[in-house]
Amino acid sequence: MPRVPSGRNWLAVLGRPAMVRLAVVAGLVLAWEWTARQFGNPLFVSPPSHVAVAMFGLLRDPEILHGIALTCWELIAAFALSVVIGLGVGLLVGLHRFTRASFYPIVLVLYAVPLVTILPLFVLVFGIGPASKIAFGACHGVFPIILTVSAGVQNIDPVLLTSARSMGASRRQIVSSVVFPHMVPAFFTGMRLAMTTVLLGVLLAELYVSQAGVGHFASQFTQTFQPQKLFALIVLLAAIAVTLNEACRWGEKRFSRWQAR
């Protein structure tokens, strides 16, 4: 990071990477605005100004708000489900040498199967409502958590366990007071990864079939050639996705503070 002199050295301030980045983004948006107005077919492209207007319109539409809320609920439910199941299975698999050797390869094999291929099956089983999206998303999110939690449990330095034992800790105490806290940073890493895949899973399922969620509106806007509304919706969803991802990243950093610097 170049040292920025204090005071009124505007050139230095403007030259800072963050500023330049902002300028680049602003430039791109302006270029988009100009080209869309000049050459763009309004059926296919839309300048950002129209998108902004459409966004306000969307936010005032109760149906759309309901759809966004429904999708958010699907995301959170899928995430919560994958966290709970992932933590449980991860602990069970990781804590015992035997379960590790037996079940870890099974998890890896299952993880290698692209869940995308059985998306229609999920819909056939769970219907076209939120349940299929939640199930699909949860199946995606469960794997990173199982893998990171069981790794976090396994990678504990043996001296910590021996030391606890020498102080008279019971097996239960070792698990709750030594293994569990040690595993927490890995758990949060898993959650961050899980959030990313849950987002992909739920959103894909929404696009595949959706009655009242955002997928429904996305299809509608696509078929009726309303790019400004579609883009506005995408921007809103992107904002939600980024917020969720950042929240998980914050959690990861917050709970990993004690790790080796």
Q: Which is nearer to other proteins, 145 or 229 (CB)?
A: 229
Q: Closest separation between CB of residue 161 and other proteins, Å?
A: 6
Asked if 6 touches other proteins (CB under 8 A), the answer is no
Told to check if 124 binds other proteins by CB under 8 A, we report: yes
In order, the DSSP letters of 41-108 are: -TTT---HHHHHHHHHHHHH-HHHHHHHHHHHHHHHHHHHHHHHHHHHHHHHHHHSHHHHHHHHHHHH
Q: Whole-angstrom Cα distance, residue 228 to residue 53? A: 8
Distance CA 84, CA 12 (A): 49
x/- track of binding to other proteins for residues 26-65 (CB under 8 A): ------------------xx--------------------
# residues near other proteins by CB under 8 A = 72
As measured in angstroms, the least distance from the Cβ of 261 to other proteins is 6
Among 12, 92, 119, 131, indicate the residue that binds other proteins (CB under 8 A).
119
Q: Within positions 177 to 236, which residues make up the interface with other proteins, using CB under 8 A?
A: 177-178, 181-182, 184, 196, 199-200, 203-204, 207-208, 218-219, 221-222, 225, 227, 230-231, 234
CA–CA distance, 158 with 164 (Å, rounded to integer): 10
The window from 6-14, 47-55, 141-149, 151-159 that contacts other proteins (CB under 8 A) reads 151-159
- Letter string b/e over residues 131-163, b meaning 16 or more CB atoms within 10 A of that residue's CB: ebbbbbbbbbbbbbbbbbbbbbbbebeeeeeee
Dist CA 248 CA 125 (whole Å): 30
Name which position in 165, 175, 212, 251 contacts other proteins (CB under 8 A): 165
Tell me the HSE value of 195 on the side-chain side, using a 13 A CA sphere: 20
In the bound state with other proteins, the residue whose beta carbon lies nearer, of 21 and 66, is 21
Determine the interface stretch with other proteins among 31-39, 62-70, 127-135, 240-248 (rule: CB under 8 A).
240-248
